[in-house]
Structure 1
Amino acid sequence: MLIWSWAGQYCRPSSTTGHQMGPLAAGRRLVACLLNISEARNRDAVEKVARAAARKRHGGWREGTSVLNIFSDRDYNRSVITISASVESVGEAVLSACEEACRLVDVRNHIGVHPCLGAVDLIPLYPLGEDVGLEECGIEARVLAARLTELVPGTAAFYFGSADMPLHRGLAQRRKEIGWFRKTTDLSCTQPDVGGRPQSRYGLTGVGASPYVMNCNVTITTEDLSIGRKVASGLRESTPGGLPGVQVLALPHKGAVEIACNVESVQGAPPAEHWPSFSVGGSTYYHIPASLISTRVAELAGQHGVDMEGALLVGFTPQECRLLAEHAISQGIGEYWREQHGARM
């Protein structure tokens, strides 16, 4: 049986909510940061990191910024905090959240099935519209990485995507190069792109920019990780017959196996009418619908006598994220995630 669940799915505000799309939403050069921190079991710590993004250092709301969603997974011991602001101001919000995460999270104590190397594990910036380009987001990501390593001595970062100049290597490639998938704990020989030798309590952080990446997790009814890996291989973009833009891991999760997919946006015209598309910097991008991922998982799992149990879209599609960011910021809702009830522990 297919069970779809959304963690923070956007619903267009109606006139009865008291939140109207206002003129302040127009003209904002919005970006989103899906900040990944290696903590999900301490709810108070995760919320403090989110509040640090939404509030100024000395009190009061950070104008033009909203934390749209928090998604936490206890088995993974990982939280994704969706922060939105203009490209000019997103750095301050994300930097404050990262400083708080470095204060509260010690990656040496991390216990969870999801790979990670840093207390702040990933800082990706995604442009949310035509008026912000990837190059600009890449420059902002590099500035953010430099400031983090200056403000928190012992932190270090590697670049990916448009921040990785001039190579523009993707996140999956960079993670392979530094041993992220092996959950390497000895970083003494690691050469970060910015910062000195990483201290063990902070670890190593990925900082970059790319077209929007969704997270879609599908559960199959088995504890056999070898089956999960076969299903994952059949989905992976790099495999013949794989799905465009899909990077995937098979992980043990709540007594079953979860097929955890990063769904990257692909440049070009969508191959089918029902595939969503959007524009960034004059270029068209599309992403595979999450429903097609779940269908393929069900087919592949069925070949091994296993059923699909359910699917979870973590956060938002790029189109939903932009609409929600415009709405929340125009209404001055700094902690929109509280209205979403999106913190899952």
Structure 2
Amino acid sequence: MKKIIECVPNFSEGRDPEIIEAIAEAIRNVKGCSLIDVDPGRSTNRTVYTFVGGPESIIEGALAAARVARERIDMRKHGGEHPRFGAMDVCPFVPVAGVTMAGCVEIAKNFAARAAQELKIPLYLYEEAAEHDYRRKLPDVRAGEYEGLAEKLQDPRWKPDFGPTDFVPEWGITATGARKFLIAYNVNILGTSNQAHRIALNLREAGRGEDSPGSLKEVKGMGWFVDEYNLAQVTVNLNDYQVTPIHVMYEEAKKEAAALNLAVTGSEIVGVVPLEAMLMAADYYIEKEGLFIYQEDQKIRLAVERMGLNSVAPFKPEEKIIEYIVAEEPDEPLAGMSVREFIEEIAARSSAPGGGSASAAVAAIGSGLGSMVAKLTWGVRKFEGVQPKMMEAIPVLHEVTQKLIPMIDADTSAFNEYMEGLRMPKNSEAEKKARTAKMQAGLKTAIQVPLTTMRLADSAWDALNLVAEYGNPASKSDTQVGARSLETGIWGAYQNVLINMEGIKDEEYRQATLAEAEQLTLRAKEQCEKVLNLLEH
């Protein structure tokens, strides 16, 4: 899985367009960073930037932005409505995909250490990165704001976690840390601001006070009226969408509105949203309504429709869902070829693509044929009695096929690391040792690719058995070819594991890997025969 981290730095400048753009441009120029949003506020004199990247690039992006702020923002001249105590006031790192919260804590500390050393600025750690409980919540850390910072820093309890301990008047101080993804979300109400606020009070965690908490955890919110939309909104921050998901907030708001005889006319996501949050909503409505939807794009469409996310502005997944925003075109020169081109490339006078890529392609064809037969059986009236079986098989075979296709190219590039090692110098003992280690690591990578092909293909057998037993009998030959192709793909991948294993010196790794590969090959033979036997009865 691609590693994606979101960074949402807030800078104490919301009025000077040149400074605002200079910070944005600094982020854009960092390779691997995608600047998603720039939200300046004149009255607050504050700008919020949202960008995403990998573990290394996200730190570089934050540092690039901080460098501009260090040069262009002077806190001695700053004033605004929003609480603040630094030129780069806060800089949180948020795990989005493939990264843990602990990983983001380390990223925040790495950023803090580098910023302190290079820019000579002080930083506090807050939220999940805080090393003291009293520094965990941002309002506590920022208490007294910039004006009280000089005195605050004289208190040993408020010594910066990184950087100089003395007051830096032109900068102030920065709070950096790691937190969960915050979703800004509005539910549309055909009513008044007072009515929307009443609903918000019933739902938000703080409720109306300690004696009257709301029903939803990790939710902050209020009600207001939006003149441009001519409707009221319950506007909330979902501080942890895994505790209170978007769809739960929407459905609960509908219940509260119905109790007041008010209509709900959809909702909107302000800013961006993780893919997981949208799929959680889709899965909720799929289960609630007994639907059968397995394709991701259709799940997104269902979530958008059920929550009315197009009601006040178009919801464009490619512009709203983080993973789609940063998605890159897959580097699949082989899988992207026509069938003719792929076969001719295999037949060419070169060692790659070879048997490994061919095996992945054959395995993908095998699971693909099973997927095809299941889909041709599903939804057909005369096969109504086996619909549950097809609904079980289709998602598995569809997903396995999609995952096997990239393995066609992965096998061809599997030897890159080994070849890098082969080209390393070997003049001294140290160089020879480093070269051998690199080559051994490269061989293991070359083994893992066909082994992954075997594992993926193996996960299709149970579903293919269902297709063989309950699928459309008119497609019998397709299922037969699918079974043989799946078995052949696994067998071919196994041969690639064997040939690459010859150079492995790690005996423990060799024995464990060969045992698994042999078991998968044996299971493929047994399962193929089982499928073929089912088709004969």
CA contact 1:217–1:259 (8 Å) conserved in 2: yes
Partner of 1:289: 246
Task: With a CA cutoff of 8 Å and minimum separation of 6, indicate the structure with the bigger relative contact order.
Answer: 1
1:207 partner SS: strand
Determine the structure 1 residue equivalent to 2:28: 54
The within-5 A match list for 1:160-175 is 160-165=126-131, 173-175=136-138
- 1:8 maps to which residue? none
SS at match of 1:326: coil
Q: 1:244 to 1:146 in 2, by over 3 A?
A: same
Paired position in structure 2 for 1:342: none
Q: In 2, distance between residues paired with 1:125 and 1:262?
A: 17
Gaps of 5+ in 1: 1-26, 56-61, 267-284, 331-345
Say if 1:65 and 1:329, in contact at 8 Å, map to a contact too: no
Alignment-derived partner of residue 159 in structure 1: 125
Q: Kindly state the Cα deviation for residue 296 of structure 1 after the two structures are TM-superposed.
A: 5.5
Please name the residue that 1:324 is paired with.
Answer: 325
Does residue 77 of structure 1 match 2:75? no
Alignment match, 1:6:
none
Q: Secondary structure at the match of 2:117?
A: helix
Residue of structure 2 in register with 1:212 after alignment: 181
Over 3 Å counting, the alpha-carbon distance change for 1:223 and 1:237 in structure 2 is closer
SS in 2 for 1:51: helix
Structure 2 residue aligned with 1:40, among 7, 10, 14? 14
The structure that is helix-richer by fraction is: 2
Letter in 2 for 1:110: H
| Structure with the largest fraction of strand | 1
Return the alpha-carbon distance in structure 2 between the equivalents of residues 329 and 205 of structure 1: 38
Cα distance, 1:286 vs structure 2: 4.8
DSSP 3-state at the match of 2:170: coil
| 1:223/1:325 CA distance change after superposition, 3 Å | same
CA distance in 2, matches of 1:174, 1:149: 21
Structure 1 vs Structure 2 CA RMSD: 4.3
Superimposed CA distance per residue, residues 134-153 of structure 1 (whole angstroms, 9 cap, x where no aligned partner): 11110110110121122222
Q: CA, structure 1 residues 218+82, in 2 after alignment: closer, same or farther (shift >3 Å)?
A: same
Counterpart among 125, 134, 150 of residue 101 in structure 2: 134
Distance 1:104 1:63, change over 3 A: same
Question: Taking structure 1 as reference, are residues 293 and 156 closer, same or farther at Cα in structure 2, changes over 3 Å only?
Answer: farther
Distance 1:313 1:107 in 2: 33
* Unpaired runs of at least 5, structure 2: 208-212, 228-232, 276-320, 332-537
CA shift for structure 1 position 72: 1.7
SS at match of 1:117: coil
In the alignment, which residue of structure 1 is the partner of 2:458? none
The one-character-per-residue Cα deviations of 1:115-170 (angstroms, maximum 9, x if unpaired) are 222111111111111x21111110110110121122222x2222123322475x7x
Q: Which residue of 1 aligns with 2:141?
A: 178
Change in 2 beyond 3 A, CA 1:207/1:233: farther
C-alpha displacement at 1:103, in angstroms? 1.7
2:494: which partner in 1?
none
3-state DSSP of counterpart to 1:89: helix
1:66 equivalent among 34, 43, 53: 34
> How far apart are 1:205 and its partner, in Å?
1.5
TM-score, structure 1 length as denominator? 0.62
CA distances 1:244-301 after superposition (whole Å, capped 9, x unpaired): 22245899x99xxx997542115xxxxxxxxxxxxxxxxxx3544299479869x79x
Q: 1:98 aligns with which of 66, 79, 99?
A: 66
Corresponding residue to 1:86 among 54, 73, 94 = 54
Alpha-carbon spacing, 1:88–1:184, altered in 2? closer, same or farther (3 Å)? closer
Task: Give the distance between the partners of 1:117 and 1:259, measured in 2 at CA.
Answer: 30
Name the aligned partner's letter for residue 144 of structure 1: F
Report if aligned partners of 2:186, 2:236 keep a CA contact under 8 Å in 1: yes
**Structure number with bigger Rg:** 2
Residues 119, 128 of structure 1: CA spacing in aligned structure 2 closer, same or farther, 3 A cutoff? same
Q: For 1:148 and 1:118, how far apart are their aligned partners in 2?
A: 14
How much identity, in percent, do the aligned residues show? 25
2:114 equivalent in structure 1: 147
